Each structure stands twice: as structure tokens, then as C-alpha cells.
Chains A and B, each alone.
Chain A
Amino acid sequence: MTMIAFREALNQAMSEEMERDSNVFIMGEEVAQYQGAYKVSQGMLQKFGEKRVIDTPITEAGFAGLGIGAAMIGLRPIVEMMTWNFAILAFDQLFNNAAKIRYMSGGQFKVPIVVRGPSGAAHALGAQHSQSFESMLAHIPGLIVIAPSTPADGKGLLKSAIRDDNPVMFMESEMMYGQKGEVPDGEYVTPIGVGDVKREGKDVTIIAWSKMIHVALAAAEQLANEGVETEVIDPRTIRPLDETMILDSVKKTNRCVIVEEAWPFASTGKEIASRIYTKAFDFLDAPIEHVNGADVPMPYAHNLEKLMLPSIPRVVDAVKKVLYR
């Protein structure tokens, strides 16, 4: 095991896959000469040259569509979005082309593209730069959506995403790029659609992903001091969802809190809750509690931004609520 930062893990994943397969290339805004807006692609231009590490103009729909066309004839593009907030401009390309070309051609074409970049809030970026769109993306049949929480998961899942023949939406976090974690030495991949138990417990299940895992783990630590054994599970992939892991955990603990950064309306957490209610209703000893970002655009003011996002105290309160404490 080696201790590396999240951004380094992603860099290793891309570099290893580019060494393995000459059809893999990366393009996006500032990925080459600038070395990546968040330094995820640092050193890749020097290593792979400008044919395979490509700076694009600021033209999200244009280069997303270009990547999809290239994928249709066998290339495996990694398209970096400087943030998923900017990717909204390319949603027509992702929703109408990437997700549907295979289906509407009766299976004649595949679109092995990875679209990746940071998602969610960072610090004081305001309303247009702080959004979490995983439920919107996961709503679309044909797309795979991944939101890893650790360097090890990030590396293994990004390698799987690059090798996968489907369009994969890979959601990272500005706040996590510098976070360090242990990554296995040597070659490994993490399977898509398989979740991970981040902390075992018997009293209550917290389901979270991406950077909310760290809020959940901190809350679990605090709850442990009060004698509550919290299980923290990370689906890692939003679509396809590891329903088995989720149901198994809830059947064991009988209580569940879902923590997500996104807004509450029609969110991923609501989808997960619906599946639990449908398939494990009799195992629940309390209604599921949701901790979401507040149902407002992100405010700039520091105090209100903190208030908008899920926090450790809010998660602790939610856990106590399902425990009737």
C-alpha cells in the first residue's frame, strides 16, 4: 500500500490505462499545457504528448460530442469537465447521444467514453459552481454514474470506467483532490456497481458516497463515543446501484440514514429509500431519515454555505432520530 492523494490516484489510473491502450486519450479544458485545472492530469502531456493529452477550447457540448463520435469508431476518450457544473452545457450530448446511440441503433454501436470532473460544493464558489448532479445523470438509462470517496476506490473505479464499453459519468470532488489514502500497489481494478462497507456497525446504517462518506464517518466516530455502532456503506456507483449491499445492511441494522450533498427533490437518496421501502419494509424499525443539501441554490456567504451543506451535527441528529433517542 502507498499513501497518495485522490488526484494522484486518478492520474495513475489514467496513465496506466493510456500505457495499456493506445486508443485511450484525454481531452478537456486546461488538461495539457496548464497541467489540469485541479492538477489531475499533471505530467501527462509530457508523458504522452499532445496527440493524446489535448487542450480544448471552452466548448463543453462541442468536445463532449466530439468524444462521443470518436468513441463510436473505437477510441476510448476520457473527457475532463473542469467541473460538472460546466457539463450542463453538454447534457444534450450525454443524454441524447452518449446514452442512446447503442439503444436506438439496435445495438450496432457502443460509446466507450468517460466523462469526469469535480462535482458538488467546494468553498464559497456560489450558486453556479456548487452543484451535485448525480441523480440527474443516473436518471438516464444508458449512462453509468460513479462517485468514489477514496483514492483507492477512485483509482480502481476509473480504470474500470475507462475499460468499460458504456458511457461512464465519473464524479469527483474539488474538496477530495488533496485527500490522501492508501492505494494498493500494482495493477488492480475496482468493479463497477459494487459498493463497499466503509465502517461496520450493528445499530444503524448510514448510506453516503463521494465526500459525504467523510461526513458520515466523522459522525459515526462521534456516535461511537455515545455507544452507537454505526455502519457506513458507500455504493461507490450510483448507477448501477449495489442494492444487495444496501438491503443487507439495512436488514441487519433496521435503521437507515441517507446522506447526500445534492438537493432533496427527486434525489439519489430518494431512489435508494424507495428501494429499501419496497424490498425491506418489514425490516425497518423507523422511517428513513434524509440529510441533504438545503433546497436552495448555494449561497455565497460562508455561514450560509455551511448551513446549506450536510454537516456532522445534522447527520448525528438524523441518526438519533431513527434510533428514537
Chain B
Amino acid sequence: MATVLSMKEPKEIKKLRWKDLGLSHSQLVDFYKRMLLIRRFEERAAQEYGKSKIGGFCHLYIGQEAVGVGAIEALRDDDYIFSAYRDHGHALARGMDPKSIMAELFGKFTGCSKGMGGSMHMFDVTRNFMGGYGIVGGHIPLAAGTAFGSKYLGKDSVTVCFFGEAAANQGVFHETLNLAALWKLPVVFICENNRYGMGTAVERAHAVWDIYQKASAYDMARGWFDGMDVIESYRAVKEAVDHARKSNEPTLLEARTYRFRGHSMSDPIHGHYRTKEEVEEQKKSDPIPRFAEELLHAGIVTQAAIDEMEAEIKDVVNEAVDFADRSPEPPPEFLYENVYV
């Protein structure tokens, strides 16, 4: 039988909070700041998209920030991260420079992928940020590959792979889970269930609505957590990552979250597939004000400190946009660079 993690059964979830997890006050403040940075960064990206400074498909992470921030905070620098096309938040959470991410969105040479990737393909080899990928589920086996590589090379790095719940219906999701379980690979699959694959609700696309239970077919450790709660996200992922590092075993985690924006910038927030009321109702569990309230209540931060962070982040985002605006486009000859080594 697969190792049973404490998050395995929903009713068994212990409401462990920061004290029990050994998180310092500065770490908690950092959680908050990173979530806020992602929120403000992406709100600004949406504006810049409206001004046609950013093109193509631009999938915002707004509403899901707690998943990426909590999860990535549970990793070491030598762990590997794979993301899908909703990758700005993960890149920011990993500590990539907001300037290089905005510049990438603007298609500039100073971007994290030199302007060659765009919104869906952010990469940073120095941070083991292995990229954002645009084919639903197509990157999942790559994550098993870095996990395989860590094991082959005798390193104890763990790989984390983010994808949406729609990817869990793709063949490669199942192929990879089978390989990871069969070969005992140190990888944590994090399914961010934001309830809609573009405009198709989970109930209309999945025979089994509890996505994490799909791991039971592979006798793999599994569980779900409240993806609107950054501490829960940290706790669940930390447990799965520690487990992977210690025993070389994979886990499938389902983060139950919600996207406040449309599937991409070119899609409506609500319409045929969900109501305005539903979105408004979900916004009541917005992970950012929710966590601010907790920090304030616990006396970890003051309102003044929160306001200060807000101002600081505003500057960071402004700087990122200025930087992106001022940066050069890739030179024409770069069109033919890096097709081959």
C-alpha cells in the first residue's frame, strides 16, 4: 500500500497552523508579500495586455496565489519546478526577478526566456525553474524525468510539477503517474483544481471529481488541501516533498482553488459556463485578505506594515513595467539562435 499521508482523507486534515509548522514570523510575512506581489503584478499585466504591450495568450493566476506560494516555499533551491501555461505566479514565487518576467511578457530580450518564450514559457535554469509548457499535461512526464535524473545522479533533489485539473484527463498524466509509482521517483504532482478546464466544469469533464483519488489507481500517496490557504498549501506540499526526499516516493496532491479571472486574457470572467454570483461568492475566500486577517489577528503584522508592503510592491511592479518598456527586443539575428546547440 502507498504511504498514507495525513492529508489523505479530507476529514482527517489537521488544522495545523504556522506555530505547529515551525514557520518564523518573517517567513509568514514573506508568504503574504509573495502572494501580494503575484496579485499586483498580474493585475498590472492585465492592464498592459489591454494596451497591447503583452500579446498572445496570457493566463492569469489571480485567485490561485496561495497554491504556488505555499508549495514553492516548501522547496529547496536545488529542487526542480515544472509549470504549465499559467506560470507567472510560480515564476514569481520561485523568486525570479519581476523585471525579467514582465520583460518576457513584453517580448523583450531582457526577459527570463530572452523574449523567445512569452507568457506560457518562462524558464530560469539558475533557479531550477524548468519552464512553463503550453500543451495541457505535456510537461508532466518531463517532471518524472528530472526526478529520475536526481535519483540516477544520487542527488536528493525533489521535483514538483504543477498542472490544472483538466490535465488529469490526458494520457500522459496517467502514463507518468504509473512510471513515477513503479520506479519510485521523488516527484510531487500538484494538481491545481480551479474547477474549470477553460470553460468546462470538473463535473462535466471528470468521471471522478476528487482528482487526487486518481492516484489510487497507481497505489500512490495522495491528498487534497485547501488551495485558498497558503499555510495549508505549505503544509501539504512540505509533507509530500519530505516524503519524496526521504523515501523516493511520489505523491499526487490536489489543491482546491479558484480562478477569479477568465481562462486567459481573451476569455470572459463569467458567462456561459459560470455565473457572476458564483465568482463573487468565491472571492469571499480570496487567499490574500484571508491571510492578512490571520496575520493581523495573530499580531504578526500591523496594518501599517501591510500598507507599507502594498506601496513597496507597487514600486516593484512599476519598475518591472518601466524596465520591460525600456528593454530592447531580441535582435533580428536571434530568430535563428538556439534552434540547435
Contact = CB atoms under 8 A, between A and B. Distances in A.
B79 to A, nearest CB: 12
Contacts of B124: 108
Contact of A69 (B141, B175, B338): B141
A72 interface: yes
Nearest to B104: A106
Interface in B166-180: 171-172, 175-176, 178-179
Contacts of B80: 73
B83 interface: no
A67 B116 contact: no
15 contacts: A51-B152, A57-B182, A61-B172, A65-B145, A69-B130, A69-B144, A69-B145, A72-B142, A73-B146, A73-B153, A93-B172, A96-B135, A97-B133, A102-B338, A142-B340
Interface string B101-137: 0000000000111111100010111000011011100
Q: How large is the interface on B (under 10, 10 to 19, 20 to 34, 35 or more residues)?
A: 35 or more
A62 B134 CA distance: 17
A97 B134 CA distance: 10
A166 interface: yes
Contacts of A68: 141-142, 145
A166 B340 contact: yes
Given A65-B140, A109-B125, A144 B338 contact: no
A67 B112 CA distance: 25
A49 interface: no
Contact of B144 (A65, A92, A104): A65
Given A66-B142, A104-B116, A105-B113, 4 more contacts: A97-B133, A104-B131, A105-B125, A106-B111
Interface of B: 80, 111-117, 121, 123-125, 130-131, 133-135, 138-150, 152-153, 159, 171-172, 175-176, 178-179, 182, 337-341
Contacts of A51: 152
B149 A70 contact: yes
B172 A65 contact: yes
B179 A96 contact: no
B146 A62 contact: no
A262 interface: no
Given A66-B144, A96-B135, A144 B337 contact: no
Nearest to B171: A61
A25 interface: yes
A141 interface: yes
Interface string A153-190: 00000000000111000000000000000000000000
Contacts of A102: 338-341
A67 B176 CA distance: 12
A72 B113 contact: no
A61 B339 contact: no
Interface of A: 25, 51, 56-57, 59, 61-75, 92-93, 96-97, 101-110, 141-142, 144, 164-166
Contacts of B130: 69, 72, 109
Q: Which of B123, B178, B182 gathers the greatest number of chain A CB atoms within 10 Å?
A: B123
Contacts of B114: 106-107
For A56, A66, A70, the residue with the greatest tally of chain B CB atoms inside 10 Å of its CB is A66
A101 B148 CA distance: 19
Given A93-B138, A106-B116, A69 B339 contact: no
Nearest to B125: A108
Given A62-B178, A68-B142, A109 B123 contact: yes
B123 A108 contact: yes
Given A74-B149, A75-B153, A106-B123, A66 B340 contact: no
A69 B143 contact: yes
B125 A63 contact: no
Contact of A105 (B117, B144, B146, B176): B117
Given A62-B178, A62-B179, A103 B338 contact: yes
Contact of B152 (A70, A109, A142): A70
A108 B141 contact: no
Nearest to B121: A104
Contacts of B175: 59, 61-62
A308 B175 CA distance: 36
B148 A69 contact: yes
A107 B144 contact: no
Nearest to B155: A73
Contacts of A105: 113, 116-117, 121, 123, 125, 131
B113 A106 contact: yes
A67 B117 contact: no
Nearest to B122: A105
A71 B149 CA distance: 8
A125 B148 CA distance: 35
A52 to B, nearest CB: 9
